[in-house]
Amino acid sequence: SIALAWFRRDLRLADNPALAAALAAHDHVVPVYVHAPHEEAPWPAGAASRCWLHRSLVALDRDLRARGSTLHVYAGDSLATLREVAAATGAHAVYWNRLYEPAARARDASVEQALRADGLGVHGFNSALLCEPWAIATASGGPYRVFTPYWRNLRARLEPRPPLPAPHRMPATAPATAPIDALDLLPRRRWDAGFDAAWRPGEAGAEVALQRFLDEALGGYAVARDVPSVAGTSRLSPHLHFGEISPMRIAWEIEHARVDGKEAFLRELGWREFSHHLLFHFPASSERNLDPAFDAYPWARIEPRQLRRWQQGRTGMPIVDAGMRELWATGWMHNRVRMLVASFLTKNLRQHWLHGARWFWDTLVDADLANNTQGWQWTAGTGADAAPYFRIFNPVTQGERFDPDGTYIRRWVPELAAFDARAIHRPWTVPAALRRSGYPAPIIDLGASRAAALAGYESMRRAE
């Protein structure tokens, strides 16, 4: 018998439960990918994600060809495409790994219903999470809103299992389809060239990143994870987003590593789980404040010029600009710096977090609706379990603390390369050198803008 394996964001062959189950139950399995951005509205993949996706599909196709098969690629409507391919190949069943974003869930539910009505078997699996959002609840049976008790519960039940092996051979069953290029995922003007120096999309690249992390960084993770100038974190986020590696596989390796730093790292994987838990139970949160009190927060009038300066890394705040330029050049930004740029936008510039979330969505190669929403809402103070509002990051002291000699700033803001370790965090204190450097003066006064943010918060609380 014949089955379709519908690949979505599980672009790997190893530890892929849907693929493994399809291969176990059928003689022939046709790997299918359908490009249907309209089905993910209002959050279809952004420009940087599409660049990654293109490369990841090419890698998956190559891995399938090495096993005698090929990836069947289509653009259009998912249901119509699956129906056509099933009819053309004589497939009796469709296998996929579940997604959890509101739009994808709604689409998958209607696809499942329609395929079942056609008489096809439909089989869904978990491949993306350690624990699916509905499988964990508070003592009273509701969703968690606070990370620590959520993680305590999940950690206690976490039992990493060994990964499922990749298939050795997968005979082709259908003629090859359109080339991946036909999906038109790459930009016309190839601004994405810098990505290739920084990344290796695909399952093999994810494996290299995992091994590098285990060998070089896991032991020092608890401390080095906060230092943006060193490769102290795993950089697995885009690989995880596109499902080129499973979190279970990572947890399994971590469990068996004989070094310190394990718990700190598992906890971050826990934040990824928590973010998915929140988005699943609060599906409106990608557009709306999780804490509705913030609907009354007096955001500043939108200042397109200020927003552009933030996007371009020309705010005059060195660590913020270094982060925004790292993002533009590589499609990724260090977590500590993500918090700083987000705090600067939402608190000092008092722009709504959605402006930042949308920019990240378009520019991050790891753009992920659950993690991005949670990261922005946490930093803006509007989220579940957010930082207390009055704890506003100071980009100068944060820079001094986490990039003490300015190595990270020098790398991304070359205008400041000649500034010493003290002045590099506050270049406006040496006006002559600043003028010569071509680096801008700050677009906002840190003290005054902090006071304005706090005053806005007080007025919101009074209005409650």
Q: Is 398 in the site for ligand FAD (CB under 6 A)?
A: no
Whether 271 is catalytic? yes
- Phi and psi at residue 6, to the nearest 5°: -90, 105
Other CB atoms within 10 A of residue 212 CB: 15
Three-state DSSP at 230 gives coil
Three-state DSSP at 236 gives coil
Q: Is 107 in the site for ligand FAD (CB under 6 A)?
A: no
Chosen residue from 49, 89, 275, 330 binding ligand FAD by CB under 6 A: 275
Binding-site size, ligand FAD (CB under 6 A): 28
Q: Per CB under 6 A, which region of 175-183, 198-206, 308-316, 333-341 contacts ligand FAD?
A: 333-341
Q: Is 237 annotated as a binding residue?
A: yes
Q: Which helix (H) or strand (E) covers residue 7, if one does?
A: strand 2-7
Cβ-defined contacts of 136-140 (< 8 Å, 24+): 136/277
Other CB atoms within 10 A of residue 316 CB: 16
Q: Is 379 in the site for ligand FAD (CB under 6 A)?
A: yes
Does residue 234 contact residue 265 with C-beta atoms inside 8 Å? yes
Q: Is 279 annotated as a binding residue?
A: no
Q: Is 461 annotated as a binding residue?
A: no
Q: At its nearest, how many Å lie between ligand FAD and the CB of residue 228?
A: 10
Catalytic residue chosen out of the listed positions 132, 207, 253, 271: 271
Q: Per CB under 6 A, which region of 300-308, 338-346, 395-403, 441-449 contacts ligand FAD?
A: 338-346
Query: 343 or 449: whose CB is closer to ligand FAD?
Result: 343
- The separation between CA 171 and the C-alpha centre of its own chain, rounded to angstroms, equals 33
Whether 299 is catalytic? yes
Catalytic residue chosen out of the listed positions 376, 378, 400, 412: 376
Q: Which helix (H) or strand (E) covers residue 459, if one does?
A: helix 446-463
Whether 428 is catalytic? no
Three-state DSSP at 369 gives helix
The Cα 49–Cα 362 span in angstroms is: 7
Q: Is 63 annotated as a binding residue?
A: no
Binding site for ligand FAD (CB under 6 A): 225, 233-237, 240-241, 268-269, 271-272, 275, 335, 338-339, 342, 360, 364, 366-368, 371-372, 374-376, 379
Catalytic residues: 268, 271, 299, 335, 353, 376
Q: Which residues are annotated as a binding site?
A: 221, 233-237, 265, 366-368
